[in-house]
Amino acid sequence: MLLGGLAGEEFGEQVAASGAADVEVRGLSADSRRVEPGTVFFALSGSKADGSAYVAQAVEKGAVAVVASHALDATVPVVIVDHPRRFLALAAARLVGRQPKTMVAVTGTAGKTSVASFTRQIWAEAGQAAAQIGTTGVISPKRNDYGSLTTPDPLALHTLLGELADEGVTHAAMEASSHGLDQSRLDGVALSAAGFTNLGRDHMDYHPTMEDYMAAKMRLFDTLLPKGAPAVIFADDAWSDEAIRAANACGHEVRTVGRKGDFLSLKRVEHFRHKQVAEVHHGGDIYEVHIPLAGDFQIANALVSAGLAISTGVSPAVALKALEHLKGASGRLELVGQTKAGALAYVDYAHKPEALENVLTSVRPFTTGRVIVVFGCGGDRDKGKRPIMGEIASRLADITIVTDDNPRSEVPATIRSEIMAATPKGIEIGDRAQAIRAGVAMMSTGDTLIVAGKGHEEGQTVGAETHPFSDHQEVRKALEEFDR
Ligand SMILES: CC(=O)N[C@H]1[C@@H](OP(=O)(O)OP(=O)(O)OC[C@H]2O[C@@H](n3ccc(=O)[nH]c3=O)[C@H](O)[C@@H]2O)O[C@H](CO)[C@@H](O)[C@@H]1O[C@H](C)C(=O)N[C@@H](C)C(=O)N[C@H](CCC(=O)O)C(=O)O
Ligand SMILES: Nc1ncnc2c1ncn2[C@@H]1O[C@H](COP(=O)(O)OP(=O)(O)OP(=O)(O)O)[C@@H](O)[C@H]1O
Ligand SMILES: N[C@H](CCC[C@H](N)C(=O)O)C(=O)O
Ligand SMILES: [Mg+2]
């Protein structure tokens, strides 16, 4: 394809100005190390490096043109644009040229993986070939691939979407992380609908303020979702009104769900040990909905998912009935085992304040004994959340065990001490396997154990190395050891 053709209307003029419109393009890359002959190199300024420094290397490896945000010295044409990351995403979409026909994206601080999974499950129940893309990887009729980024970079993303389309997948739900939105990773995806769950503290190391964080999330509505398309918004969050305002301002069809929702209105919820029954009103009809998952927050996720499924053609009756068979996403308040005396052990991915608060509150109604929590905070990530999570655990759990969770380049004991400062009665056990053993050893009748922070993860990253580690396995091992 010619670069002029990949540029589209938005970047056509700049490409023409560079004299590169007729350059034949064989591939795109933002990494000089991966450039091959015929590639267009996008020189991106990142958090660690500046791609401009690698232009010479890219050209040496065969780059036929460079896209950058400022003038550069190069022996090939240089296209100067304001937003090279957006150009990369749109060009990747055009170069691949196909994606599952119906795609939705969901954003929010918590619940994205769950909503992507539930939406896929509802579509599948409705007979569609459906996929989900996000933190836990890619799940489709033919795949169950472990993932890394929540929102893949545009080249990986569009290659994947092309493959899914070739495999016959017609429906896909993807997670839009704030990093992904801010870095235009999904700008090239054609969306049929989009969802918002909630906003809470996270990634304050990346976004300067909560308003900036919210603005990144709202790119989903103000830049990516085509005007007039359905925006499904959870109505009961502190930031819901702001999201509704933003979606309305863009001319979308706003569909709110939740207690304050008018598209799917939640009227009543009864909590049981392993399930919840909700009364939901839609378009004048009343539905009794059985959700086989614990946790109030799963109702919110289920409603956003049903809203997205209905907005993409599933009948309301089928969508709400499908909720009866939902399986939780791996490691999201997942019941991993129980003691012979019936005390429950869960693995959960809460690694940010609101999520931890929600999870600890969610298990209280069915916990007749004590709530025991084992958790830590990641290194090289928002340090401000450490004392906040410590305070939440000491307020909402009866026993708190503070341990390590991917310390990365930081000193693990320092991370723990920042959590412990707000958890005066916390027990500190750095070794995560030992911390889980200690938690399991304490369990007696009526207690609930929550091992939080890693969810589906399969490794513990210490320094630059990731060692195999699974909360699921450690919980199971400890249950075997202590509960004979
Ligand atoms: C902070 C961040 O988000 N970084 C992402 C970003 O990298 P970057 O552009 O900042 O990269 P950089 O290292 O500064 O390099 C700048 C440019 O120079 C290029 N380069 C560099 C070296 C070289 O020799 N040659 C060369 O061309 C790089 O390829 C890059 O294009 O763009 C890359 C490509 O899309 C991402 O892989 C990378 O994600 C890193 C690995 C990451 O850890 N991201 C996390 C924080 C993240 O994105 N998380 C979110 C949210 C999770 C959640 O919600 O909890 C996610 O979506 O997963
Ligand atoms: N709607 C919700 N409201 C509050 N907390 C939630 C909600 N949904 C999930 N959680 C909590 O957040 C954790 C992560 O859930 P999930 O993976 O679905 O969210 P996510 O937005 O994909 O998170 P991440 O950005 O880390 O990938 C869960 O394990 C649970 O503790
Ligand atoms: N996507 C999140 C996951 C955090 C999970 C937690 N286990 C940690 O390592 O902090 C991040 O990279 O910030
Ligand atoms: Mg996720």
Q: What share of the chain is helix, strand, coil (3-state, %, to 5)?
A: 40, 25, 40
Residue 109 among known ligand-binding residues = yes
Give the list of residues 6+ apart from residue 52 with CB closer than 8 angstroms, or none: 43, 45, 68, 70, 72
State whether residue 41 is helix, strand or coil: strand
Q: Which atom belonging to ligand 2 lies closest to the Cα atom of 109?
A: 21
Q: Which atom of ligand 1 is nearest to the CA of 45?
A: 16
408 lines ligand 1 (CB under 6 A): no
* Ligand 2, atom nearest to 350 Cα: 31
Distance 418 CA to ligand 2 centre (A): 23
Counting from 1 in the atom list of ligand 2, the atom nearest the Cα of 200 is: 4
E-strand ranges in 12-52 read 27-29, 39-42
202 C-alpha to ligand 2 centroid (Å):
12
437 CB near ligand 2 (under 6 Å) = no
Please say whether the dihedral angle defined by the alpha carbons of residues 63, 67, 69 and 71, taken in this order, is positive or negative.
Answer: positive
Residues 6+ apart with CB under 8 A from 468: 458, 459
Q: Write out pLDDT tens, residues 322-354.
A: 999 999 998 999 999 999 999 999 999 999 999
The verdict on whether residue 135 carries a ligand-binding annotation is no
Q: What angle do CA 193, 84, 21 make, to 5 degrees?
A: 105
Q: 266 CA to middle of ligand 2, Å?
A: 20
Q: How far are the Cα atoms of 213, 347, 360, 456 from residue 332, in angstroms, in the given order? A: 24, 7, 13, 8
Structure tokens at 242: 């702001």
Q: Which residues contact 373 (CB under 8 A, 6 or more apart)?
A: 356, 360, 393, 397, 399, 400, 401, 439, 449, 450, 451, 452
Please state the ipTM of this predicted complex.
0.95
- Whole-angstrom Cα distance, residue 417 to residue 201? 20
Atom 12 in ligand 3: which residue has the minimum CA distance? 381
Ligand nearest to the CA of 89: 1
Long-range contacts of 264-268 (CB under 8 A, 24+ apart): 264/303, 264/306, 264/307, 264/310, 266/299, 266/303
**CA 183/CA 156 separation, integer angstroms:** 14
Return contacts of 209-218, CB within 8 angstroms, 24+ apart.
213/178, 214/239, 214/242, 216/178, 216/181, 216/182, 217/107, 217/108, 217/176, 217/178, 217/181, 217/243, 218/243, 218/246
Q: Are 407 and 432 in contact (CB under 8 A)?
A: no
CA 99 vs CA 34, 106, 313, 446: distances in Å = 24, 17, 18, 49
Q: Which residues line ligand 3 (CB under 6 A)?
A: 150, 351, 378, 381, 405-406, 453-454, 457
Q: Specify the pTM.
A: 0.93
Closest ligand 2 atom to 177 CA: 25
pLDDT at 246: 94
108 among the known binding-site residues?
yes
Task: Return the best residue to mutate from 55, 113, 179, 385 for the ligand 1 pocket (most ligand atoms within 8 A of CB).
Answer: 179
Check if 54 has its Cβ closer than 6 Å to any atom of ligand 1. Answer: yes
- Side by side, which strands form the sheet with 334-338? 334-338, 344-348, 448-452, 371-375, 399-402, 427-428
The answer to the question of whether 406 is labelled as a binding residue is yes
pLDDT tens-digit map of 264-322: 999 999 988 788 999 999 999 999 999 999 888 999 999 999 999 999 999 999 999 99
Determine the Cα–Cα distance for residues 3 and 39; give it in Å rounded to an integer: 10
Q: What is the pLDDT along the chain (484 residues), one digit of tens a residue?
A: 999 999 999 999 999 999 999 999 999 999 999 999 999 999 999 999 999 999 999 999 999 999 999 999 999 999 999 999 999 999 999 999 999 999 999 999 999 999 999 999 999 999 999 999 999 999 999 999 988 799 999 999 999 999 999 999 999 999 999 999 999 999 999 999 999 999 987 766 677 788 888 888 899 999 999 999 999 999 999 999 999 999 999 999 999 999 999 999 999 999 887 889 999 999 999 999 999 998 889 999 999 999 999 999 999 999 999 999 999 998 999 999 999 999 999 999 999 999 999 999 999 988 999 999 999 999 999 999 999 999 999 999 999 999 999 999 999 999 999 999 999 999 999 999 999 999 999 999 999 999 999 999 999 999 999 999 999 999 999 999 987 6
Burial environment of residue 434 by CB neighbours within 10 A (0 to 12, 13 to 18, 19 or more): middle
Cβ(192) – ligand 1 distance below 6 Å: no
Separation CA 185–CA 175 (nearest Å): 11
Q: Specify the DSSP element, H or E, that contains 230.
A: strand 230-234
Tokens of 43: 């020189």
**Residue 389 CB less than 6 A away from ligand 2:** no
